[in-house]
Chain A
Amino acid sequence: MSQTTAMEPPARTRDGIVSASETGMVFPGPVVALEDASFHVKRGEFVSLIGPSGCGKSTLLRLVSGLIKPTAGRLNVFGTPVDGPRAEIGMMFQKPTLLDWKSVFDNVLLPITLAGTVTKADQTRAIDLIHLVGLKGFEFSYPRQLSGGMQQRVALARLLTSGAELLLLDEPFGALDEFTRERLNLELMRIQSDLDATILFVTHNIQEAVFLADRVFVMTPRPGRLAATIDVPLPRPRTIEMTKSPEYNDLVFNIRDTLGGFI
């Protein structure tokens, strides 16, 4: 252990937003949810995590968020070991997890409300973010009045209010229909480039993983392992037309092959 520590790059390296070396997670049981994961994520990078259920992708996301602590190896975020949730890290889930008793505006302001007092500037920013995710006119509606896709847009705006630089998204559009998902994916990429955020995006849809990411982490189950990392050299901004290109389709087939026996 001490030998590997000595060989590691110095802490707070500019390019290592997330760096994991031999990170593992065993839940009581014991259930090996993640074994031996080593990787780096650079600033501004969009990384998709893909794999079948039980491959440890959600576990990996929760480890990075600080909600759970690794039982083996090292995991640094922004150069320091993860030790509980942080303000620079934001999370979004498959369900919108909105508070039904708060308006869109108050839901979006929730991270600020929890962190301290809400200023006029925060309120203005919240309205801007609501407009950014395409909910102009619904600023003071309640979740009950919104469709599933609109609710997930609110969740996205809430994620952005926190000012987090590292965004962890756990199948955020998985419960939505194909058209809504496609549109939200395009908006997510636009927002990411506007804000220069780093994104870890969990999905079980290969096409989506490739379409969004700079790199795809392919994971396999029992025990959860990082089987391969695949670069996606498609130019940005991405367009729907690119999904017809041979490069894109080669990547999709390549990943399907890697996952091969596990699906």
Chain B
Amino acid sequence: MSEHATNIPSASAPRSIPVWAQHLIVFVVFISVWELAVRNEWVSRLILPSPFDVVFAWWDLAIVKALIWKHFFVTLTEVVVGFLLGAGFGLSIAILSAMNKTFRRLISPYMVALQVTPRIAVAPIIVAWLGFNMEPKIAIAAIICFFPIFINSLTGLMQVDDERLEMFESMRASRWQIFRHLQLPGAMPVIMAGFKTGISLALIGAIVGEFVSASVGIGVLIQRFSFQLLLPEAFACLIMLTGMGLLLYGTATFADRRVIFWKDDNLVTKSAHRLRAKHADLLKE
């Protein structure tokens, strides 16, 4: 039985090829098939640009003309500011709802309404209100990422372990102390998961805002290049957005790991060592 169990992994993953090389092979095959498909005109070049066309277009836009960066940072700013606003509101309203039953009851119909309304549909109205600069894109990003952050934070804050709560009550903890020492840290894993979802949604929000109306931003570039059938350039912009998405998600994942350090063996060990050094005097007999 156990012999079979140990044989399974080696059967599914060839032992001789390292994992990174397997990824590289898949990538190279994928790009080659794409390049061949375009070069042999299995697909029209007008519909699908070849990978080399895309790379040349990106090189031209990002390095030679260097005009893409201005748009990149405008979009990035919209996403980050929008996310911070949405996260701030989402977390604050979740905290108020978790602390106050009446508030939670009164606000819940509006939260449900906000959830079921396609928030993208609000974009033209927001643009009408806030004009054509970065503000409407920030607002749309904030609105779109607000809900998952709110709902995750509320769920996390509401799921307090009964025995821990009883322990705090038996120690005569105040409501604020229960929040500060039990509820909030206990909810952090779920809150951080909401942030991770939220940051990707904020990017969608900013791009939608740019599609509706804008003169600067990666979304604008994609729209413009597509209208002019400059598909290699449009694809190059898309790759910039993928990069931005990875950057944002990577940052959120990094922050998540640091904040929830107690779920990570290495970070916990490090923290224990730090505390031991800090309180070294207490351990001297």
Which residues of A approach B to under 8 Å, CB–CB? 62, 65-67, 84-87, 89-91, 93-95, 97, 99-101, 103, 105, 110-111, 113-115, 123-124, 127, 139-145, 162
Known contacts A99-B185, A110-B181; decide if A142 and B272 are in contact (CB<8 Å).
yes
Residue in A94, A97, A105 whose beta carbon sits within 8 Å of that of B161 in the complex: A97
Give A120's nearest chain B residue, CB to CB: B282
Question: Bound state CA distance, A77 and B181, in angstroms?
Answer: 29
Q: Does A144 lie within 8 Å of B265, measured CB to CB?
A: yes
Q: Label chain B's interface by main secondary structure.
A: helix
Known contacts A123-B282, A145-B268; decide if A111 and B185 are in contact (CB<8 Å).
no
Q: Does B182 lie within 8 Å of A99, measured CB to CB?
A: yes
Which residues of B approach A to under 8 Å, CB–CB? 161, 163-164, 166-173, 177, 181-182, 185, 188, 261-263, 265, 268-269, 271-273, 275-276, 279, 282-283
Question: Bound state CA distance, A143 and B185, in angstroms?
Answer: 15
* Residue numbers in A under 8 Å from B188 (CB-CB): 101
Residue in A67, A99, A142, A145 whose beta carbon sits within 8 Å of that of B169 in the complex: A67
6 contacts between A and B (CB under 8 A): A101-B185, A114-B181, A115-B172, A140-B275, A145-B272, A162-B171
Q: Does A114 lie within 8 Å of B168, measured CB to CB?
A: yes
Q: Does B272 lie within 8 Å of A111, measured CB to CB?
A: no
Known contacts A67-B170, A90-B170, A110-B181; decide if A97 and B164 are in contact (CB<8 Å).
yes
Known contacts A93-B163, A114-B177, A142-B262; decide if A65 and B170 are in contact (CB<8 Å).
yes
Q: Does A140 lie within 8 Å of B185, measured CB to CB?
A: no
B225, chain A: closest CB distance, angstroms: 49
Residue in A85, A93, A139, A162 whose beta carbon sits within 8 Å of that of B283 in the complex: A139
Q: Does A140 lie within 8 Å of B167, measured CB to CB?
A: no
Give A138's nearest chain B residue, CB to CB: B272
Residue in B171, B276, B279 whose beta carbon sits within 8 Å of that of A114 in the complex: B171
B99, chain A: closest CB distance, angstroms: 18
Q: Does B283 lie within 8 Å of A110, measured CB to CB?
A: no
